Structure 1
Amino acid sequence: MFDFDKLGKKTLIAPFVLVIALRCVLCLAVAPLLRADPHDISLAIVNLDDGTTTPVGAVNAGEVLASQLTGEESQAAQESTETLAKLTAMKAAAASGAAAATNGAAATESSEAPNLVAVTSSDSAASTNGAVEAAEGAADSGLAAAAAAAASGAAAVPDTASAQAASGAETDDADATSAATSASSSMADALTWATLDSEADLDQRLEDNSLFDGIVIPADFTARQLAAASNPADKPQLTVYLNMGKNPQVANSLQTAMAQSLASAGIDADIQMVNTADVGGGMMAGLIAAQMMVMPLLVMTLSSSIVLSLLTWRRDAWDLRARSPWLTAGTQAAFIVALSALIAAFALLIDVTAGGLDLPAGQLFCWLWLGCACVMLAFVGLTDACLPVGALFAITVFAVGMGTAMLPAELMPTFWADWVFPWAPQAHLGQGVRTIVHCGQNPGMADAGPLMVFAVIGIAALLLAAGLATAKSAKAKDTAPAAA
């Protein structure tokens, strides 16, 4: 053990060094949470729209919507866009003619003699009625424009200032509006869309937790767009599926964004949450349950690992009287199995007792036990092989990986997403917890695999430490007779 008496008066600065070190550790722990940067948020769209035929061509509003969302221009979308442009021009011309005829009739009525009033009024009525009929015949344009607006609106959270202007609302807080718009644009830029062929394919991907969100355009989307011209109650309705199992935070953000976007575009949305979990507790329980389980698990794992190594692996004990290093390594392995089970139970009990959550305790216990044992093997093995390396490794894993238990890689800053999330045990433990709680499934190798790597590293380090200790003991035996 280290003798602090050797430092003399320098030990007085130890508390300050400790505070600075803890500050660095905590900065690394909270940095990804405070600097969340959405990117590559995977969504999918299924277009079932049958489209319709107008006097100037075929229209498929669903194709236009899907094309603008995904950024993939199709031939059907191009043709529909051209048809919509023609219909828009027709409606504008019809409306302009109606206005001109009405204005002309009013001017004639006020300036001409009474004997011309009946004739002028009759001509005006005929012109107006014709214009109205033309406008009704070209009503497709307004509905098609709504479809285009829906496409741009669904691809991004709507501009708050524009939405308020359109509805006649006013705001006294321009700064808040600007901030909200900026955040919305950031989320919109982060979305990546894929086009799927069927709802069955979408359901499978949501079940596999490979998507955050899915949108289904119904078969009557274009038809209801057209019908809404005469009856607004017939406006189309999309089905939006939000995956709580992928990540509750992202699902809640997308729910607000999608509802506002589609509403501002005049399209109803049936928003459905999939992979939900009623765990009880307070309003934040579903959002932070995984974090509140993984964080204490890692804290107990880190501290127990270092203490276990220091108590059972004495570097000055491998002499002629020392017990076998291999026996000590085996004893440590047995302790790891027992301690990891105890730590997993305690981490689970924290959520159950303190939070009052209703959780699948059996599955969660086995998963947390596996994860804790794998990580503890790495911590203990590396600390046995080299104390400074083991301690630094354990603290680094705790510090840089803690934020990954709550947020997905798609919300992490670039460094954490590319270099930390793939191996951080907290990330895979947290996702495994969500898979169990929200999807009712056992975690797959995508999450168990990285934990197994920690176990392999730990076993290799234990074998290395035992080998080095054996060599040291043998060398001590060889030099003992010469010393005598």
Structure 2
Amino acid sequence: MMKQKLVWVLPLIVAAVIFVFSLAMIPTINPTPVRLPIALVSEDQGVTLPNGTATNMGETLTGMIKQQTSSTASADGPAIEWVHVNTEKEAMSGLDEQKYYAALVVPADFSQNQATLLTDKPVQPQLRIYVNQGMSASASTMAGQVLNQIVDTMNAKIRADLLAAAGKQSGKVTVQQASVLAAPIAKDVKNVHETGTHTANGNAPVSLFQPIWMGSILGGVIFYLVISKLNFAYRRSLLAARVVQTVAGAVLALIAGFGLTWFAGSWGLHIPDGTATAIFLSLCYFAFFLMISAVLSWAGLKSMVLFVLLLFFGAPLLSLPAEMMGSFYRDYVFPWLPMRFMVEGLREMFFFGRGLDWNHSTAVLTGIAAVSLVVLLGSALKARQNRQTARGNVEPQTVEA
């Protein structure tokens, strides 16, 4: 046995396989946000102080926030990309459209309330924080933590300034003032598009990906093996077989889509609209099945390596927003993952109240299915060798037109 070359090469093969698949761990080891878009709204109307000085604490506060986050920027850029929005209503619309992971709103009476903190009747100013929970579990959590930390830092600075001002005035602080000075700025934190419970911590769309993907691979490989064992005298016979394969794929898609929806619901996963989810999952299966079948029809079983790599490299990325990926994965891997459209479509259905409609994800998946179908049917037009020729037993034989 030790004389076999494969035995000596095996350690190198194992090391190479471990190295390749260990690369899939990189995106999840230390995900760091870069330019995470957060809406920043200041509706503060400002106030005129008793000495006649006009001030707008909202503008001052937003300037301090931008300076604080820019000072902690990494080589790739700042962790937060502040997007100035005119009104709170516009910011909420952006959250609905998944433009922002969170929003920080300075209300109209912020300066007015700020000016009362050292008076006999202090009124605590308030900031409103909206966290877009359904957009990404990890990114929304991080965005919420960043915003809370920013407000806490602002509180510490304002508290110190107010205490210094109180010391210059009379040196005395009333009980009412002391209670407000403990946290000069109040936070009103609200989660929008909440993931709720029984959603795999907001990762329900990612959880449904692997069964559909593996089922698509299984269906594509079985049909490839069945068709490769048959000898077709005419190209039209092979074309008819491809049509049958496509129809069978549609049937498998319905079984997979409705079956997975039923199983997932039975196991406790919260699915807002079962029928819409089942139809969308069927579309995903059909698109992936046709894509895999089309590649197999031209490249053979060796192309299975591609789909296995897509699974191992793609799965860790699906739960991360693009802003938390390394530049290589964000620019060269993530854009080419067909399964990301499945996850994005399910996320809109589960957390954003959108049913089954013609959106970006549905359009892309339909496009994948259409192009793959053309490629699959086109494989019937190429010269095809019979089984004996493929094994090298006879001379190549081209089918008659």
**TM-score range relative to shorter protein:** 0.7 to 0.9
For the 8 Å contact 1:44–1:214, the answer to whether it is kept is: yes
Cα separation, partners in 2 of 1:233 and 1:205, compared to 1, 3 Å: same
Q: 2:59 aligns with which of 63, 66, 72?
A: 63
CA distance 1:446–1:30, shift in 2 (3 Å): farther
Partner of 1:450: 364
Residue 106 (structure 1) aligns with: none
Trace 1:289-308 onto structure 2 (pairs within 5 A). Answer: 289-308=204-223
Amino acid at match of 2:223: L
CA distance in 2, matches of 1:23, 1:231: 69
> What is the distance in 2 between the residues matched to 1:449 and 1:302?
22
Relative to structure 1, the CA distance from residue 16 to residue 37 in structure 2 (aligned partners, 3 Å threshold; closer, same or farther) is: same
Residue type at the aligned position of 1:221: F
What does residue 331 of structure 1 align with? 244
> 1:241·1:273 contact (CA, 8 Å) conserved in 2?
yes
Q: 1:45 to 1:476 in 2, by over 3 A?
A: closer
8 Å Cα contact 2:65-2:150 kept in structure 1:
no
Asked whether the equivalents of residues 294 and 347 of structure 1 are also in contact (C-alpha less than 8 Å), the reply is no
Structure ranking higher in helix proportion:
1
Find the counterpart in structure 2 of residue 49 from structure 1.
44
Residues 185-194 or 416-425, more deviating: 185-194
**Structure 2 counterpart SS, 1:46:** strand
Deviation of 1:350 (Å): 4.9
TM-score (ref. length: structure 1): 0.65
- TM-aligned CA deviation for residue 250 of structure 1: 1.4
Q: Which runs of 4+ in 1 moved over 6 A?
A: 10-18, 184-188, 470-474
Question: 2:135 aligns to what?
Answer: 246
- Rounded Cα–Cα distance in structure 2 between residues aligned with 1:327 and 1:13: 47
Mapped to 1, the partners of 2:246 and 2:19 lie a distance apart of 32
CA distance in 1, matches of 2:21, 2:272: 29
Further displaced range: 57-66 or 29-38: 29-38
Corresponding residue number in structure 2 for 1:370: 283
Quote how far apart the aligned CAs of 1:68 are: 3.9
Alignment of 1:35-184 (within 5 A): 35-54=30-49, 55=51, 57-70=53-66, 152=68, 155=69
From 298, 316, 337, give the equivalent of 1:385.
Answer: 298
Q: 1:242 to 1:287 in 2, by over 3 A?
A: same
318 and 257 in structure 1: CA distance in 2 versus 1, 3 angstrom threshold: same
Query: Which of 277, 284, 293 is the equivalent residue of 2:195?
Result: 277
Query: What is the CA–CA distance in structure 2 between the aligned matches of 1:372 and 1:15, rounded to whole Å?
Result: 36
Structure 1 CA distance, aligned partners of 2:399 and 2:83? 66
The aligned length equals 359
Structure 2 counterpart of 1:36, which letter? P
Pair 1:65–1:270, CA change in 2 (3 A): same
1:241-273 CA distances to partner (integer Å, 9 max, x unpaired)? 111121122112222332233133222110111
2: CA distance, partners of 1:347 / 1:11: 42
Q: What are the superposed Cα offsets for residues 168-187 of structure 1, whole Å, 9 maximum, x if unpaired? A: xxxxxxxxxxxxxx9x9899
* Matched-pair contact (CA < 8 Å) for 2:384–2:399: no
CA-to-aligned-CA distance 1:100-132 (integer Å, 9 cap, x gap): xxxxxxxxxxxxxxxxxxxxxxxxxxxxxxxxx
- Work out whether 1:218 is the aligned partner of 2:213: no
Amino acid at match of 1:298: W
Confirm whether residue 201 of structure 1 aligns to residue 104 of structure 2: no
Displacement, 1:156?
8.0
Identity of matched residues, %: 20
CA distance in 2, matches of 1:445, 1:393: 28
What amino acid does structure 2 have at the position aligned with 1:450? Answer: V
Deviation at 1:341, TM superposition (A): 2.3
Asked if 1 retains the 8 angstrom alpha-carbon contact of 2:215 and 2:256, the reply is yes
Matched, 1:317 2:231: yes
Q: Using the alignment, how far apart are the partners of 2:59 and 2:197 within structure 1?
A: 40
Q: What is the letter of the counterpart of residue 187 of structure 2?
A: A
2:182 corresponds to: none
Q: C-alpha offsets along residues 1-53 of structure 1, whole Å, 9 cap, x if unaligned?
A: xxxxxxx9667689878866763564344332224231221111121101112
Q: Does the alignment pair 1:228 with 2:224?
A: no
Correspondent of 1:343 among 256, 270, 279: 256
Counterpart residue identity of residue 454, structure 1: I
> 1:250-265 maps to which residues of 2 (within 5 A)?
250-265=139-154
Checking the alignment, whether the CA contact within 8 Å between 2:233 and 2:399 is kept in structure 1 is yes
Paired position in structure 2 for 1:287: 202
* Alignment match, 1:105: none
Aligned counterpart, 2:339: 426
TM-score (norm 2): 0.78
Secondary structure of the residue that 1:50 maps to in structure 2?
A: coil
What are the ranges of 5 or more consecutive residues in structure 1 without an aligned counterpart?
1-7, 72-151, 158-181, 479-484
SS at match of 1:193: strand
Rg: which structure is higher?
1
